[in-house]
Amino acid sequence: METADILLNGVGAFVYEDKILLYCKAADPKRKTFHVTVSQDGLHYYFFDDTAIVTTRSGRLEDIQRCADFRIVSIESGYVALYTKKTPTTTHLCSALSHDAIHWEKIGRIASLAEPSVIVSNFTYNGQYVLYTGGTSLRAGFSPDLKKWKVTKNPIITSKGSIVVGWAEAQEDGILLVYVERNTEGGTTYHSLNAHLFSRNDPVKPLWNSPRVVWSQPEEWKNRKLRPVGIVKHNELFIAYWQDDSGAIIALTHPIASFQKGAKTSSFNSIVSKWQHNPVLSPVGDHAWESQAVFNAAALYDEGKVHLVYRAVGDSGVSVLGYAASNDGLHFDIRHPEPVFYPMRPFDSKNTTGRWLVHSKRIISGGISGGCEDPRMTRIGDRIYLIYVAFDGWSPQRLALTSIAANDFFKREWNWDMPKLISPPGVVNKSGCILPEKIQGKYMIFHRVYPNILIDFVDNLDFDDNTWLKGEYAIPPRSNCWDSRKVGFGPPPLKTDAGWLAIYHAVDDRDDSRYKIGAMLLDTNDPTKVIARSTTPIIEPTEHYENGGLKYGVVYPCGSVIMNNQLIVYYGGSDTVVCAATAPLPVFLDALKNEASSQLQPVSLVHRPSLSN
């Protein structure tokens, strides 16, 4: 926030008619008035009035330097503000009334409340005003006259950290509350912006199963101390104002659509459609090598067809790779009767006898768990590269790389190169894939070491026995979001006009028994930069084929293609079948940009003559 020669502390924000007022106090400890600045767009402000005051019932001026957290709303007779006031021994909540949102008359102190609180604007319940107050839990209060409040003893929502309420409005479908949640991990405080919907007929009754996390403080802000200033709704946007430890006031803009649904749902629900005839591939009982499960399929769209290389588990319990193809991306009428890739080296299986002997009905070898898992496939030039998870049934899983000439692949002549390990020993490393284009002359490889997505740049793909991926860059989980525990890339990113579209999987600390799928946009020229990231999953395990197989609650992507301007995501359901979900690409990209990329912008403040003079 550019404040010229005045250092201002933000204390609140409010929409007055069609303008946004940002309330600030100067650092001068003797000043009893505070500044009101005004903006048309919420980002560019000028001084409107510097004589704003709060007077007590005795006519004295409130000590504005001790006041903060102004939450201002409209009521039938004007405007009401709740604010916190610090004394030498305590902090308490106060209320004030105004006819112009500039000059305020203090009503008094609200007994027993000390946390920032907000009244639901232009709404009464059984003739009483309603407020929400935070702290370690969220509670509600009721008052017939704005003076005496009865606050619920039982919490509505509890928090592992603390809740700072910011905005509340009664809508047709319920009371929408927007608030900040603070959590501390490893000595670092993280903030998230959350929304929850409560019943108009019972304001303590949540209508959503859990809060909606609209925005989470990114990892790159972990050393940036933030303080919430206020939240407003203006011109199809929610604008959240924050002040950091440098004194700058910043604005985060969020589309209103991001606040409309609960945590279990998403605007992607109306865009991404699971294929009505899922699964697209299922186990084949009379193929011993794929009799138990087929899932986690790599995908490639080329030669007018979608080609899948999928993980298969049969009677032996060992993972091999199968092949299927489709002209429309959904009906896979071409399916190879035998594995197209199988364990060849000791790191794939404890079987060290060399090449496996494979027949259409059975595998000639001792059956032990392990094998070739979770492939990802990328075409670069005239070769198709395949990264998979190599598991010998005992050692930590590692990433292996092989390749095949594109002509051989399309002719189904499976002349794969001998695979080689590319991740270091002793470290579980999964979810490996290669970007389809070089970046500044280097190959870009994504992989996962718990809990992060890692990124490496390499000059070539000729790994030797002493060359391993290092993890030069990281895309971490997000605290207090649906992907808070661990994240991993699915298929190789797809190039679009909006950037590289990356489909990924994640697990939430609050729902750690289920895998879900999300999406990111990476910068076209520097794919280490995430420019948009879905605030909710795009696919969740809700169907019987995602919950009734070998592993409950799993949707796991390994392949995606763009075909006829449509995005198709291929994912494993319950570690048993291959499924597909589709979305119109332009609509999907617009939703991802709108939902994920809350825009951080500095607030500029320009001196103008005070209108009160």
- pLDDT at 592 (0 to 100): 85
**Residue 87 CA: distances (Å) to CA of 93, 110, 118, 229, 520:** 11, 15, 21, 20, 47
Cβ–Cβ < 8 Å for 150, 159:
no
pLDDT of residue 435 exceeding 50 = yes
CATH code of domain 273-596: 2.115.10.20
- pLDDT at 267 (0 to 100): 60
Domain ranges of the chain: 71-264, 273-596
- pLDDT at 590 (0 to 100): 82
Tokens 């790779």 -> residue: 321
Cβ–Cβ < 8 Å for 330, 257:
no
Measured distance CA(227)–CA(520) in Å, rounded = 27
Share of the chain above pLDDT 90, in %: 68
* Arithmetic mean of pLDDT, 520-533: 92
pLDDT, tens digit, 9 for 90 and up, residues 247-262: 888 888 877 777 765 4
- pLDDT at 601 (0 to 100): 58
Q: Which residue has the higher pLDDT, 501 or 364?
A: 501
pLDDT of residue 274 exceeding 80 = yes
Question: Mean pLDDT, the chain, as a whole number?
Answer: 88
Q: Which residue has the higher pLDDT, 436 or 466?
A: 436
- pLDDT at 27 (0 to 100): 79
Q: Which fold has domain 71-264?
A: Tachylectin-2; Chain A (2.115.10)
* Arithmetic mean of pLDDT, 479-492: 91
Measured distance CA(317)–CA(320) in Å, rounded = 10
Q: Which residue has the higher pLDDT, 602 or 105?
A: 105
- pLDDT at 364 (0 to 100): 30
Q: Which residue has the higher pLDDT, 352 or 226?
A: 226
DSSP states of 537-570: -SB---SGGGTSSSSTT-EEEEEEEEETTEEEEE
Measured distance CA(326)–CA(301) in Å, rounded = 10
Banded model confidence at residue 294, pLDDT cuts 50, 70, 90: very high
Question: For the purposes of burial, counting CB atoms within 10 Å of the CB of 568, is it exposed (0-12), middle (13-18) or buried (19 or more)?
Answer: buried
Amino acid identity at 535: T
Kindly state the DSSP code that residue 210 receives in the 8-state scheme.
S
Q: Which residue has the higher pLDDT, 597 or 419?
A: 419
Q: Which residue has the higher pLDDT, 417 or 531?
A: 417
Cβ–Cβ < 8 Å for 484, 509:
yes
- pLDDT at 409 (0 to 100): 97
Banded model confidence at residue 354, pLDDT cuts 50, 70, 90: very low
- pLDDT at 612 (0 to 100): 35
pTM: 0.62
Half-sphere exposure at residue 585, Cβ-oriented, CA atoms within 13 angstroms: 20
Cβ–Cβ < 8 Å for 348, 363:
no
Share of the chain above pLDDT 70, in %: 90
Three-point CA angle 307, 310, 314, nearest 5°: 140
